[in-house]
C-alpha cells in the first residue's frame, strides 16, 4: 500500500505514533528539557577520573561537564609541592569557570571538595546556580582542615609534619567502603594528598548559603560524624534539599545512576 492510499485518519494515527516514539521515555532519557553545565570537584587523594561514570551519563543526556583535577593530585600529581594549599585548589576551580566563561553552573564538591567549593562560592558566586555537597565537609569561617579531619587523617598529617613531608599517603579504598569490585581500580588511581590544604584557615562570608539552590547528599554506608552533622543541619533548613544514598563514600563510583538522577533534579 502506497502512502497516498492511506486514509487521513490512518495517516494521523501513524504520525501520532511516530511522534510518540520520538518523544517518549526512551527519547527523554537522552534529551533533558534543559541542558546544564556541571563542575564536579573531587575529594582527597582522588582526581577528575573518579567522576567518569557520572560525567559520561550526564554528557549522554546533553549536559556539559567539567571534572578538573586539583593541583598535585591524579594526572597532576607531578605538580605536588609544599606550596599546594587550599587557596591553590580554590583557584584551580575558579580559573576553570573564568577561562571557560561558565555561567549558571551546578557546582558539586565531594568530601574534601566541600572545602574547595565553599571557597569557590566566595569568589565567583554569580556564576553558580546550584551547589551540591556530596558527602562533603561544610567548613565555617576560620576553620582549617585539621579542625575537622578524622583522627586517622590528623595522625597522618602530624607524622608528615614531623618527617618534613609535604603529603600523606592515599588510604586504601576500603577506608571509603568502596564496593568490592572497584577497590583495586580505586587503589591504583589514588595519589598522595598534600598536607598544606589542611593547615590554613578558610575565609568565608556565607556565600554558599546565598546560592539559589543548595543540596546535601549523605552516603549512609560510610560512617563519619562530621557528615552526619552537616546532613542534619541542612535537613533542618528548608532552603536546602537533602538526599540519602545507600552506599559507601565514593557515591560517584558506587551509584553513578542514582547520583546522575539527583544531580539533574537539583540542577
Name the catalytic one among 45, 55, 111, 153. Answer: 111
Residue 45 falls in the annotated catalytic set = no
What HEC string does the chain produce? Answer: CCHHHCCHHHHHHHHHHHHHHHHCHHHHHHCCCCCCEEEEECCCCCCHHHHHHHHHHHHHCCCEEECCCCCCCHHHHHHCCCCCCHHHHHHHHHHHHHHCCCCCEEEEEECCHHHHHHHHHHHHHHHEEEEEEECCCCCCCCCCHHHHCCHHHHHHHHHHHHHCCCEECCCCHHHHCCCHHHHHHHHHHCCCEEHHHHCCCCCCCCHHHHCCEEEEEEECCCCCHHHHHHHHHHHCCCCEEEEEECCCCCHHHHCHHHHHHHHHHHC
Q: Which residues are catalytic?
A: 111
Amino acid at each position: 500500500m502506497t502512502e497516498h492510499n492511506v486514509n487521513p485518519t490512518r495517516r494521523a494515527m501513524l504520525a501520532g505514533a511516530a511522534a510518540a516514539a520520538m518523544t517518549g521515555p526512551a527519547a527523554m532519557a537522552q534529551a533533558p528539557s534543559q541542558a546544564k553545565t556541571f563542575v564536579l570537584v573531587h575529594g582527597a587523594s582522588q582526581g577528575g577520573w573518579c567522576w567518569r561514570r557520572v560525567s559520561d551519563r550526564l554528557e549522554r543526556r546533553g549536559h556539559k561537564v567539567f571534572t578538573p583535577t586539583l593541583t598535585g593530585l591524579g594526572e597532576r600529581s607531578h605538580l605536588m609541592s609544599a606550596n599546594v594549599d587550599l587557596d591553590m585548589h580554590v583557584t584551580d576551580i575558579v580559573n576553570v569557570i573564568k577561562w571557560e566563561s561558565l555561567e549558571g553552573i551546578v557546582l558539586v564538591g565531594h568530601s574534601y571538595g566541600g572545602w574547595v567549593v565553599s571557597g569557590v562560592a566566595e569568589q565567583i558566586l554569580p556564576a553558580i546556580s546550584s551547589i551540591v555537597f556530596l558527602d562533603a565537609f561544610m567548613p565555617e569561617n576560620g576553620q582549617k582542615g585539621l579542625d575537622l579531619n578524622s583522627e586517622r587523617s590528623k595522625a597522618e598529617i602530624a607524622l608528615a609534619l614531623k618527617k618534613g613531608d609535604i603529603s600523606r599517603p592515599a588510604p586504601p579504598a576500603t577506608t571509603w567502603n568502596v564496593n568490592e569490585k572497584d577497590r583495586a581500580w580505586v587503589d591504583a588511581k589514588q595519589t598522595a594528598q598534600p598536607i598544606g590544604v589542611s593547615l590554613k584557615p578558610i575565609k568565608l562570608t556565607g556565600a554558599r548559603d546565598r546560592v539559589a539552590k543548595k543540596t546535601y547528599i549523605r552516603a549512609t554506608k560510610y560512617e563519619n560524624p562530621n557528615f552526619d552533622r552537616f546532613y542534619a543541619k541542612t535537613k533542618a533548613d528548608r532552603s536546602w534539599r537533602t538526599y540519602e544514598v545507600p552506599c559507601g563514600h565514593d557515591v560517584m563510583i558506587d551509584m553513578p545512576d542514582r547520583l546522575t538522577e539527583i544531580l539533574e533534579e537539583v540542577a
